[in-house]
Amino acid sequence: MSLAELKKTVLEIAARGKGILAADESSGTIAKRFAAINVESTENSRRDYREMLFTTHGLSDYISGIIFYDETLGQKAKDGTPLVDILRKNNIVPGIKVDTGLTVLAGTDGEKVTQGLDGLAQRLVTYKEMGARFAKWRAVFNISAHKPSVLAIDTNANLLARYAAICQEAGIVPIVEPEILMEGDHSIERCKAVTEEVLHTVFHHLYKNKVVLEGMILKPSMVTAGEDCPVQATVEQVAALTLEVLLRTVPAAVPSINFLSGGQSAELSTQHLNEMHKLMAHMPWNLSFSYGRALQAPSLDIWRGNQQNVPAAQTALHKRSKLNSLACFGNYHGHME
């Protein structure tokens, strides 16, 4: 492991006012999104869509890294240029999703655990040769009266830490993503308690596995009420409670916290990020975004598989990225929509 190499990558990704575009949807997930706009999911249509995203003019002003899916990392644009080279030419760092999905964790009431450690070290060698400089692993936690269980929290936290340690040995920056799902009717207070417990456990395991905090990025959920909760929190409440949990659990040595959107609308995820920066001007870490749908949704709806719609779809992505960049300074306003 070269700590200097890891720090260099983190420094590029954590540039102030820039965030990460998560374009790492699995083939199954992107097929569902394409079906919603009546586009068949094929290797070419997936390539065309992601090429449209990656070639957006001026995207690097607001996006410092893009997470690829395994298929995308080896794809080439229509003119034969590797998609990885398009990013590198525009000073955007390529990354790769390395987990292989979820399965039921034995001994629990249907809770999930993430797979993908088998053969990870060997895969990372190949991914790095192909141009990836950072990776992502997602663990998920459901909230109910009795979930997440101690077993689910501890198992997933340990797997996140093992993944991160393996990445750092390969010279690849790990994004550690413990996602607290919005599904359910839990209150924001319940989400806060769960998020705090999960993050404490994750950092405990990161320490035990000798993960260098300066060479990683945290990708957490925001603290929100469940989507079916009858009382939804205000933007101010979400921002305040999220910051409170982060200050209690995330060491200052972590260079960057890049939130996932987790099913929030494009506008709401931007509002929450903006409010955090308004509440706290000076933070121990860079606080930014790593959004998927919250960045892509407007573009996808415009694109609809039609080449003639590409310029308008790219304009929508550029605008969404710029608004989130402004939110990283607390300078976003609703009238900008």
Give catalytic residues, as residue numbers: 177, 219
Q: Which amino acid is at 179?
A: E
Contact between residue 176 and residue 137 where contact means Cβ atoms under 8 Å apart: yes
What are the structure tokens assigned to 175, written together? 């994004």
Contact between residue 17 and residue 329 where contact means Cβ atoms under 8 Å apart: yes
Which SS3 state, helix, strand or coil, does residue 22 take?
A: strand
**Residues 144-167, buried b or exposed e (16+ Cβ, 10 A)?**
eeebbbeebbebbbbbbbbbbbbb
Distance between CA atoms of 245 and 69, rounded to whole angstroms?
Answer: 30
Helices and strands per DSSP (H, E), number in the chain:
12, 10
Residue among 300, 297, 295 at smallest CA distance from 321: 295
Distance between CA atoms of 81 and 100, rounded to whole angstroms?
Answer: 27
CA distances (Å), origin 315, targets 37, 194, 323: 19, 38, 12
Distance between CA atoms of 70 and 92, rounded to whole angstroms?
Answer: 18
Q: Which single residue is written with the structure tokens 């590198």? A: 88
What are the structure tokens assigned to 178, written together? 């413990």
Residue among 274, 284, 273 at smallest CA distance from 249: 284
Distance between CA atoms of 324 and 155, rounded to whole angstroms?
Answer: 33
CA distances (Å), origin 87, targets 20, 54, 143, 229: 12, 7, 37, 41
Q: What is the DSSP string of 241-294?
A: HHHHHHHHHS-TT--EEEE--TT--HHHHHHHHHHHHHH-S--SSEEEEEESHH
Residue 21 φ/ψ, nearest 5 degrees: -95, 115
